Amino acid sequence: MMMIRLTINGKEDTDMEFDTQLLHGGISEDERTGAMSIPIYNASTFHQPKLGQNQYEYSRSGNPTREAVESLIATIEHGTAGFAFASGLAAISTVFNLFQSGDHMVIGDDVYGGTFRMVDAVFKRMGMTFTIVDTRNLAAVEAAITPATKAIYLESPTNPLLKITDIEAIATLAHKHDLLAIIDNTFASPYIQKPLDMGVDIVIHSASKYLGGHSDVIAGLVVTKDPELGERIGYLQNALGGILAPQESWLLQRGMKTLGLRMRAHLANAEAVFAFLKARPEVAKIYYPGDPDNPDYAVAKKQMHGFGAMISFELQPGLSPVTFVEQLKVITLAESLGALESLIEVPALMTHGAIPREVRLQSGIQDELIRLSVGVEDKDDLLADLTQAFDGLKK
Ligand SMILES: *Cc1c(COP(=O)(O)O)cnc(C)c1O
C-alpha cells in the first residue's frame, strides 16, 4: 500500500494539473540518487539495522518500485491510497474480499466477463449473493437493495455496449443505504473521469488497458479516498498476496507517464472513426457515448472529459462481422483494448463467447456486433483500412 505524498520538487502540491501529475506526482524520482526513473527494486527482503525501524520489511508488504506506481495512481485518481496487483482480476477479487458469506452485492448487468465469472463461479460458492441490474436504472438498483446488501458495483462505460451510468447518482444512492460504491474505471481511465470526486468509495482498474497502454503488461490497481477503507484494502493486499512485481510496476509507471498524450490522440481518432462509421450504409447500429443520438449522451457529457475511444457497432443483417474484421490490415484483430494499436474483435465469438447465446442476446449483444478500440495510428490510415474492409464485404 502507498499513502500518497503530493509533492513536487519536495514541496507540497495538491493543485498540479493532470499531465504534470503524471510526470511529477506521487513518488516520481529516486530519493537516494535523483534518478528520474524509479529503479526496479528486485529485492524480496530488506536489512533492518535496528529491529523494526526500517521502511521496508518484505516485498509483498511493501516495495519501493510498487509504491511509486501506487502513489501515482492515488494522485491522478484524487485518492489517498493506491494499491497495485498482478492483474485487474486480482485487484477486483481482493476488493471483493472486503465482504463475507451472507453478504449481498448489486452488480451492473454489463460488467467485464471475467468479473461476472468470478462472481458466478467463485464468490457465490463462498456464500455471497448478487443481483444483476442495469445500473442506469436507479429505481431498479434501489429495488435490488436488501438488508444484506453491502455494495453497489458498476462499470461506466460498460463492455461492449458502452452504457453510461450516472456515477454520482449511484454513489449518493449507495451512501443513503450505507453501502460502498465501487467502480471499475478501466474503460474510461482517470483522464476521462475521476469517480472518487463523484463520491465513489473504491476505484478499480485493469491497468493492462489504457493505464499501461502499450500491450506489454498485465496489472490491476485500486484507489481509495477514505483512510480507514485504505487500511482495509492494504491489509487484504498483503494478506491475500496478489501484488504487482517490481518489473511490472516499473513498466506500468513508465506507460502511465504518457496517459494524457495518448488519451488526447485516442479521443481525436475516435471522433473521426465515429463520424466515418455513422455515415456508412453497412453499419446498422452504433454504440458510442459521444453520439448525440445515444440515450446516455447527456449523462456522458455531464460526467466524462471526452467520450472515450471505444466504439461498438453492428453490421447490417447478412454482412459477416468475421469477414469484416479479418479483412482489416492496420486495425488488429485481437482481444483487449486501450492499447496504442487499434484493436478490433467480435464479442459474440471472442470476449463474450462464454456467455450462453440467449443470455447474450437478452443483454443486447448481437451476433453482428463488432467492438473497436481506437488506437493512435494516423487517422487517415484507420479510415482507409475501414473503407477497404467495408468495400470487401460486397465482393
Ligand atoms: C480487462 C478487464 C478486466 C480484467 O483485467 P485483467 O488485467 O485482464 O485481469 C477487468 N475489468 C475490465 C473492464 C476489463 O476490461
Residue 379 annotated among the catalytic residues of the structure: no
Confidence of residue 5 (pLDDT cuts 50, 70, 90): very low
Question: Has residue 13 got a pLDDT over 80?
Answer: no
> Is there an atom of ligand 1 within 6 Å of 373 CB?
no
Pairing of strands 369-373, 310-315: antiparallel
> CA–CA separation, 168 vs 302, rounded Å?
10
Let me know: does 222 contact 95? Beta carbons within 8 Å. Answer: yes
Let me know if 209 is a catalytic residue: yes
Q: Which pLDDT value is given to residue 15?
A: 66
What's the rounded mean pLDDT across residues 256-277?
98
pLDDT of residue 11: 46
Ligand 1 neighbour 208 (Cβ under 6 A): yes
| Model confidence pLDDT, tens digit, residues 106-139 | 999 989 989 999 999 999 999 999 999 999 999 9
pLDDT at 355: 81
Name the packing angle between helices 259-278 and 379-393 (round to 10°).
30
Phi, psi of 285 (to 5 degrees): -155, 145
159 CB within 6 A, ligand 1? yes
| 261 contact partners, CB below 8 Å, separation of at least 6 | 19
Give the model's pLDDT for residue 356.
84
What is the C-alpha to C-alpha distance for residues 204 and 104, in angstroms, rounded to an integer?
Answer: 19
CB 222 within 8 A of CB 236: no
Decide: 182 and 46 in contact? Cβ < 8 Å.
no
176 vs 26 pLDDT, higher one: 176
Model confidence, pTM? 0.95
Q: What is the mean pLDDT of residues 178-187?
A: 98
Q: By the 8 A CB rule, do 265 and 82 touch?
A: no
Pairing of strands 149-155, 180-184: parallel
**Average pLDDT score over residue span 90-95:** 98
Q: Average the pLDDT over each of 23-27, 64-68, 130-134, 148-152 and give the range with the smallest value.
A: 23-27
Distance CA 124, CA 112 (A): 17
Q: Which pLDDT value is given to residue 54?
A: 84
Residue 307 and residue 301: Cα distance in Å, rounded? 8
State the average pLDDT for the chain: 94
Helix or strand holding residue 370 (H, E) = strand 369-373
With a pLDDT cut of 70, the percent of the chain lying above it is: 96
Cell numbers that stand for 391 in this block: 468495400
What pLDDT does 1 receive? Answer: 54
138's enclosing H/E stretch is: helix 138-144
* pLDDT of residue 4 exceeding 80: no
Q: What is the pLDDT of residue 395?
A: 65
CB atoms within 10 A of CB 328: 18
Residues 6+ apart with CB under 8 A from 139: none
CA–CA dist 153, 44 (Å, integer): 34
- Give the mean model confidence (pLDDT) for residues 271-278: 98
Question: What pLDDT is recorded for position 2?
Answer: 54
Position 6 pLDDT exceeds 70: no
Over residues 185-214, the pLDDT tens digits come to: 999 999 999 999 999 999 999 999 999 999
Instruction: Classify the phi-psi angles of 9: left when phi > 0, otherwise alpha if psi is within -120 to 50, otherwise beta.
Output: left
**Running DSSP on this structure, what letter comes out for residue 10?**
T
**pLDDT above 50: residue 389:** yes
Span from the CA of 336 to the centroid of ligand 1 (angstroms): 8
Q: Is 220 in the pocket of ligand 1 (CB under 6 A)?
A: yes
Which pLDDT does position 158 carry in this prediction?
A: 96
Per residue in 139-171, pLDDT tens? 999 999 999 999 999 999 999 999 999 999 999
pLDDT of residue 14: 57
Indicate the top mutation candidate among 92, 112, 116, 244 to test ligand 1's pocket, ranked by most ligand atoms within 8 A of CB.
Answer: 112
Quick: pLDDT tens for 312-329.
999 999 999 999 999 999
Any atom of ligand 1 within 6 Å of the Cβ of 79: no
| Phi and psi at residue 260, to the nearest 5° | -60, -50
Domains of the chain with CATH codes: 19-256 (3.40.640.10), 259-392 (3.90.1150.10)
